[in-house]
Amino acid sequence: MNKYRIGSLVLILALFGLGFFIRTSQDPNSRFPFKFGLDLVGGTELIYRADVSQVGSGEIGESMETLREVIERRVNIFGVSEPIIQVEEAGIVSGNPDHRLIVELPGVTDIDKAVALIGETPLLEFRLQKDGLGDLTEAEVASSSIDDLFTSTGITGRLLSRATLQFDPTTNEPVVALEFNSEGTELFAQVTRENVGKVLAIFLDGQPLSLPVVQTEISDGYAVISGQFDALEARDLVRNLNYGALPLPIELISTETVGATLGEAALDAGVKAGVIGFLLTVIFLVLWYRLPGLVASVALVLYIAISMSIFKLIPVTLTAAGLAGFILSIGMAVDANILIFERMKEELRAGKNLNDAIHEGFKRAWLSIRDSNVSSIITAIVLFWLGTSAVKGFALTLGLGVIISMFTAITASRTFLFAIGITKDSSITRFLYGSGIHR
C-alpha cells in the first residue's frame, strides 16, 4: 500500500513539474518552444528534386543528408526563423524513388525571396576535358553544354572542407583557395595523378570559372581558383562555398505558400478540437466508470503533459496532420483503461473481492492491450517510412502517443488505483468501481 502511495506522489509531482516546464517554455524565445509547421503558422514550402544519377547507390543517403545540411546552413545565414529542411524519397514502393528535398521557411511568404535563398547556393564541380577536343577557349566552353565537352570526376562541393580568400604574392590578384576533406583529398590526388597534361575545369553552377591544366599530382588536397573575379567577387564566392557548396544538382518542382492568417486559424481550430475532445473523454470516463474513470482522467492529464514535453524536447514539428494524430491519440490513450475496467467489472460480477478484481483486471487485459498497441505502433512506423512529410507528422505523433499511453494506462492508472486503498467490499464500493447503469 505504502509503495503505491509513494509512487502516486512521485507521479503527481512529475505532473506538476511537467506542467511547470510546459508553461514556462511557451515563449518562442525560450530554449524549448513548440515547433509548428507551415500549415499552422504560415510561410513557404519549396520542394526540390535532387539529381543523383552521378552518385553511387551506396552514397545516395549520405549525399542527400549532406545536401540537407548545406541548404540548412545556407538558409540560416539569411535569418529565417526555424527553417525545416527534410529529405524524402517519393515512390519507394514503385522501386524508382525520387529523392526530394523539402524546405519549409516559416514566416517567408514571398516565393521569389524563398527561391533566391536556395538558388544562390553554388554547385561547385571539377570536370575533365574529353579527349580529342583540342584547345578550348572560355567562350567556346561558355556557349556549349558542359556534358558535351567535359566528363564528371566526382569532385564536387560535397568534398569541400573550406574555402579561403588569398592574394597571389606575385600579381596581388585575389584567388580562392580550396581545401578538400579526406575523401576529396584522396580523389583529387587520383584524378590529378592519372590526368597530367589534361584540362581539369572548375565550374560553378554550370559556368566555367577556370580551365587549368594539370601539371602534376596534387596530393595535399589544396586547389586554387584564380583570374576570374575581383576582390569583392572572390569574397562572395568564398562565403557561398563555405556556407554551402551543393553536393548535388537540384531542381525546383513545387512551391506552396500558406498565409499567416490561415495558419493561425488552423492552429486555433486544432487546439480547440483537442480541448473539446479531452473534456468529452473525461466526462465519459467519470460518468461511465466513476472512480476508476476519475483515476484514468488523471492518468490522461499525465499522458498529455508527457507528450507535450517530449514534443518540445525532441523537438517534434507539429503540423495540422500531426496535431490531428495527437488529438486522435488522446482517445486511444484511454482504450487500455477501458479494457482494464471492463475486465474488473467482470471479475466483480464473478464474486471476487475488490483487490483481486483490480489485480485480475490489469493482468488479463494486458495481452489485448499489448497486441492492439503493437499493431498501432507498426502502422505508425510504416506510415512514417513510406509517407510524405504531412503523413510522417501524423505517424510520429500517433506512434509517440501510443507508446506513452502504454505507460500512463498501465503503470500510472494501476498505481493510483491501488494507492486509494479501498479494501472494504460494500455496495458503495461496488457502485464506485462498477460502470454504466450496473453495479
**Predicted TM-score of the model (pTM):** 0.62
Per-residue pLDDT, 150:
92
Which residues, listed in sequence order, are joined to residue 174 by a DSSP beta bridge? Answer: 167
Using a pLDDT cut of 90, give the percent of the chain over it.
8
Does residue 9 carry a pLDDT above 80? yes
Q: Give the β-pairing of 174-180 and 200-204.
A: unpaired
User: What CATH code is carried by the domain that includes residue 268?
Assistant: 1.20.1640.10
C-alpha cell at 381: 512506423
Pairing status of strand 207-210 against strand 222-226:
unpaired
Averaged over 27-31, what is the pLDDT?
Answer: 72
Same domain, 79 and 202: no
pLDDT at 187: 94
Tell me, yes or no, whether 252 lies in a domain.
no
| pLDDT, position 306 | 92
Q: What is the pLDDT of residues 30-76, one digit of tens each?
A: 778 887 777 777 788 888 998 888 777 788 888 888 788 778 776 76
Asked if 292 and 417 sit in the same domain, the reply is: yes
Name the 3-class secondary structure at 8.
helix
What average pLDDT does the chain have?
A: 82
Q: Which has the higher per-residue pLDDT, 421 or 190?
A: 190
The verdict on residue 36 lying in a domain is no
Classify residue 423 as exposed, middle or buried by CB count within 10 Å of its CB (0-12, 13-18, 19+). Answer: exposed
Judge contact between 138 and 214, C-beta under 8 A: no
438: in domain: no
> What are the strands, taking DSSP E only, across 51-134?
84-90, 98-106, 124-129
Q: What is the pLDDT of residue 369?
A: 85
In this predicted model, which residue has the larger pLDDT, 95 or 235?
235
113 and 145 share one domain: no
| Residue finishing a domain among 121, 151, 179 | 121
Same domain, 26 and 50: no
Averaged pLDDT, 317-335 = 81
Can you tell me whether residue 244 is helix, strand or coil? coil
For Cα atoms 287, 288, 293, give the angle at the middle one, nearest 5 degrees. 80
DSSP state of 410: I
Instruction: Report pLDDT for 189.
Output: 94
Are residue 112 and residue 208 in the same domain, yes or no? no
Higher pLDDT, 184 or 31: 184
- Mean pLDDT within 11-36: 83
358 inside domain: yes
359 in the same domain as 304: yes
CATH number of the domain within which 213 lies: 3.30.1360.200
CATH number at residue 94: 3.30.70.3220
Same-domain pairing of 416 and 283: yes
376-424 pLDDT, tens digit each? 899 989 888 877 666 777 888 888 888 898 888 888 888 888 888 666 6
Cell numbers of 237, please? 564566392
Is 354 among the domain residues? yes
How far apart (Å, rounded) are the C-alpha atoms in residues 338 and 296?
Answer: 9
Given a cut of 70, is residue 292 above it in pLDDT?
Answer: yes
* Claim to verify: residue 188 and residue 231 sit in the same structural domain: yes
pLDDT band at 127 (very low <50, low <70, confident <90, very high): very high
Cis peptide before 106 (omega within 30 of 0): no
Q: How many CB atoms lie within 10 A of CB 434?
A: 21
Q: Does residue 167 share a domain with residue 109? A: no
Q: Binning pLDDT at 50, 70 and 90, where does residue 438 land? A: low
CA triplet 390, 392, 396: central angle to 5 degrees?
125
Higher pLDDT, 132 or 300: 300
Q: Is residue 375 part of a domain?
A: yes
In Å, what is the CA distance from 241 to each residue of 62, 76, 156?
Answer: 19, 14, 11
Q: Provide the residue range defining the domain that includes 177.
A: 124-245
pLDDT of 93 strictly over 60: no
Cα 383 from Cα 380, distance rounded (Å) = 5
- 269 and 410: one domain? yes
Residues 107 and 139 in one domain: no
Residues 307, 249: Cα–Cα separation, whole Å: 39
Choose one of 186, 210, 245: the last residue of a domain.
245
Cα–Cα distance for residue pair 330/337, rounded to 1 Å = 12
Phi-psi region of 133 (alpha: psi -120 to 50; beta: other; left: phi over 0): alpha
Q: Is residue 200 a part of any domain in this protein?
A: yes
Name the E strands within 237-379: 250-258, 317-318
Burial class (CB in 10 A: 0-12, 13-18, 19+), 20: exposed
**Last residue of a domain, which of 105, 121, 137?**
121
| Cell numbers linked to 246 | 551543393
Tens of pLDDT, residues 99-110: 889 888 877 777
At a CB cut-off of 8 Å and minimum separation 6, what does 115 contact? Answer: 46, 252, 255
Same domain membership, residue 406 and residue 305: yes
Count up the domains in the chain and report the number.
Answer: 3
Position 251 in a domain: no
Give residue 186's pLDDT: 94
d(CA 38, CA 435) in angstroms, rounded, equals 44
Q: Quick one: pLDDT at residue 424?
A: 66
* Mean pLDDT calculated for residue range 248-274: 80
| Mean pLDDT to the nearest integer, 129-138 | 81
Q: Name the 3-class secondary structure at 95.
A: coil
CA angle 314, 320, 324 (to 5 degrees): 85
Q: Measured over all CA atoms, what is the biggest interatomic distance in the chain, rounded to whole angstroms?
A: 103
